[in-house]
Homo-oligomer: A and B are copies of this chain.
């Protein structure tokens, strides 16, 4: 099958092209600061707020970049994916904006609020049992019935180039950050972030933040082989997946360190952001701040960018 996506690890030019391509569709999200959080961390923190992105998460950058870069004839039958989370809503909205069908396979246990969001963007939703095999089987069936093109949530260079634009904007609007900290699940955001830092601010080190209860990326990078994410146990519902064969090498080459944080410290960090910054972030987005607060010896006195990945939270099920 022909590959319609970006065929190689995104270059600096690919990321700049993606940034220009998606500019008419995305929000250029604000970068916020908090004197209180600076005080308690001893660091100078810059929060890139992708919780304000369309569809509520950075995922829309990758989705709209990918859909916008494909030839019209490839898109005629629409796009498809399986996701219970932010990629589902992002792809559904991207398809709606492009006027093409979206077919989204969701586990039947997906939160009603996320199902409603996807349907609200006009996508066709297909339910399956909540396990990886059932998701892939149902997706194969949908793709074969509809002729839609499968858009992987992260293991895709076009997606990675799109996600990289968040860090690009962060680096353009701040000066000489010492670190950028991003959460890691499948590694789409993290690998895009690492590439943008490498190309556009080589002095800036990228650190990954991972929940202790889903630390497959930590072990994968340490042992230099991709471990699957088996029975992850964390509140961070956006970080349950394992690395892919495209994201893993980029991360190995360009991320300086992976630091884990337990759920208790993640919930504390999330609550601090809600109470002090008055913005709604999802648990996955709080892992970088938890890592910064847990490791003052590393971050105190440093300029640190933090990617707030999204703000899609079930308000009826808060951890506090």
Contact = CB atoms under 8 A, between A and B. Distances in A.
A1 interface: no
Contact of A320 (B56, B275, B280, B316): B316
Contacts of A316: 320
Interface in A306-320: 311, 315-316, 318, 320
A2 interface: no
A30 interface: yes
For this chain, the copies found in one complex come to 2
Contact of A315 (B52, B113, B281, B318): B318
Instruction: Sort chain A's interface into a size bin.
Output: 10 to 19
B315 A275 contact: yes
A98 to B, nearest CB: 17
A278 interface: yes
Contact of A280 (B52, B113, B279): B279
A318 B279 CA distance: 15
A278 B279 contact: yes
20 contacts: A30-B30, A51-B278, A52-B278, A56-B278, A113-B275, A271-B315, A274-B280, A274-B315, A275-B315, A278-B279, A278-B280, A278-B281, A278-B311, A279-B279, A279-B280, A280-B280, A315-B318, A315-B320, A316-B320, A318-B318
Interface of A: 30, 51-52, 56, 113, 271, 274-275, 278-281, 311, 315-316, 318, 320
6 interchain residue pairs of minimum CB distance:
A278-B311, A278-B280, A51-B278, A315-B320, A279-B279, A52-B278
